[in-house]
A and B are shown apart, each in its own frame.
Chain A
Amino acid sequence: MATQDDDTLTGSVPDPEAEPTPAELAHARRFAELVDKTLAGRTPPAMSADDRALLEVATVIRAARGQLELAPARQRAVVEDALRQAIGAEPSPGGSVTPIARAPARRWAPWVVAGASTLVAAAALLVLWLRPAEPPGAPIGRATVPAEWTSRSADALIGPIARDRAGDASARIDAIFADRLDGFRARRLARRGAP
């Protein structure tokens, strides 16, 4: 049995100035709920043919006004298809959401990082444990260098100064300068010759 709802599209067109009947108001409320459910993604599985036709028109009108957004799953599918085509792969058939498979390297990367970090830490522990102990009192951060390369007292070079040579400072400074210059050159040459 046909109802008034069933002939909404095929029935007579009411006068624009006429007051809506209670049946029309009820149908309008029901259709509004139907539209809201559809926009919320909860489209009823069964509906009348007229409602389905009206719903399609409403959807087209809304899309034409630019207020329609793709669902997140659909957006991901579109982006992934574009990426697939960018790298020369075939787009996913049917346009369904198919996440790109993760490369094996990416799957193993965390464990490779973990293994390498563990090995480095273990090696550092071994080096710290096995290094030779420095002699107590040795200055930190100074390499052992020959005494000839270092700044030091000139006592060993000059020796005791006789009274009759007390004013012969010129000869002594010559000896000190020559000795320190030798040490400086030896150090420089050794550093250049080092591998």
Chain B
Amino acid sequence: MKRVLAGGSLALALAVALGLGAPALPACSTERDAGSPARSVTRLTDPADADASEPIGQDLLVALAQAKNFHHKAKVYMTDGNLPAATAAVRQILSLAFPRGAPEADDVRNDARALLAKLLISQGQLDEAARTVAEGLAQSQRESFFVANLYTVQGEIHEARATALDASDPGKSAASGERHAAIESYDHSIQINERLQKKLMEER
């Protein structure tokens, strides 16, 4: 009988403790303030959030270091006059694996595309250069100074086409169209730069 009573008292104790603790469970998943919106703990990270909260990790540094080495390698080839080898070295930057959602990845790739396009221009491969720039603009998730730089290089490509058209058939309207396209590209670049500079000034 005493054992039954002891077991019963223990069960009663646990029931009291659980009864007091039960109201705390909903508080773990909801906001206490009624004014603040309730947020799900399973909410996925938005790419915009990653811009300001993902700590720098070793994987990001490794990717940046590899990009840096390929750029230096390309620079040596350019100094040596070996533009195809320099182009190949820069292309390898585009296939580097960056941490998912790292904003630096877009910047580094766009910068590599700009250099790649300039190398292709200098080798007379204007269509390939234009394709390289167009791919970079299409894949960009946000405006940046690197995107603006891509528009600048796009303008240079249009200028190079206009020059080539002038040389092959002077006075043709196609060259004029390329020049207009170049101006549009430069305007895009200028507008992006202005917006970003204004934004940075406001943040400071």
Residues of A participating in the B interface, judged by any CB pair closer than 8 Å: 102, 106-107, 109-111, 113-115, 117-118, 120-122, 124-125, 128-129, 131, 133-134, 136, 139-142, 145, 147, 149-156, 158-161, 163, 166-167, 169-170, 172-174, 176-177, 180-181, 183-184, 187
Contacts and interface: CB of A to CB of B under 8 A. Distances in A.
Contacts of B27: 125, 128-129
Contacts of B54: 150-151
B143 to A, nearest CB: 9
Q: Is the interface of B mostly helix, strand, loop or mixed?
A: helix
A124 B104 contact: no
B138 interface: no
B139 to A, nearest CB: 15
Interface string B58-102: 101100110110011011000000000000001000000001001
Most chain B beta-carbon neighbours within 10 Å: one of A120, A124, A172: A172
30 contacts: A107-B6, A109-B10, A110-B9, A114-B17, A117-B17, A121-B20, A125-B24, A128-B27, A129-B32, A133-B32, A134-B31, A134-B36, A136-B39, A139-B45, A140-B41, A140-B43, A151-B57, A151-B99, A151-B104, A155-B107, A155-B144, A155-B145, A160-B197, A166-B149, A167-B115, A169-B112, A173-B68, A177-B61, A177-B65, A177-B67
B152 interface: yes
Nearest to B38: A136
Given A125-B24, A139-B49, A142-B53, A170 B74 contact: yes
Interface string B40-59: 01010100011111111110
B33 A160 contact: no
Contact of A160 (B50, B60, B193): B193
A169 B50 CA distance: 24
Contact of A161 (B33, B68, B71, B145): B145
B14 interface: yes
Interface in B1-37: 2, 6, 9-10, 12-14, 16-18, 20-21, 23-24, 27-28, 31-33, 36-37
A128 B24 contact: yes
Nearest to B2: A102
Contacts of A131: 32
Contacts of B112: 169
B126 interface: no
B20 A145 contact: no
A181 B61 CA distance: 7
Nearest to A141: B41
B167 interface: no
Most chain B beta-carbon neighbours within 10 Å: one of A129, A134, A158, A167: A167
Contacts of B119: 167
Most chain A beta-carbon neighbours within 10 Å: one of B32, B49, B104, B112: B104
A150 B55 contact: yes
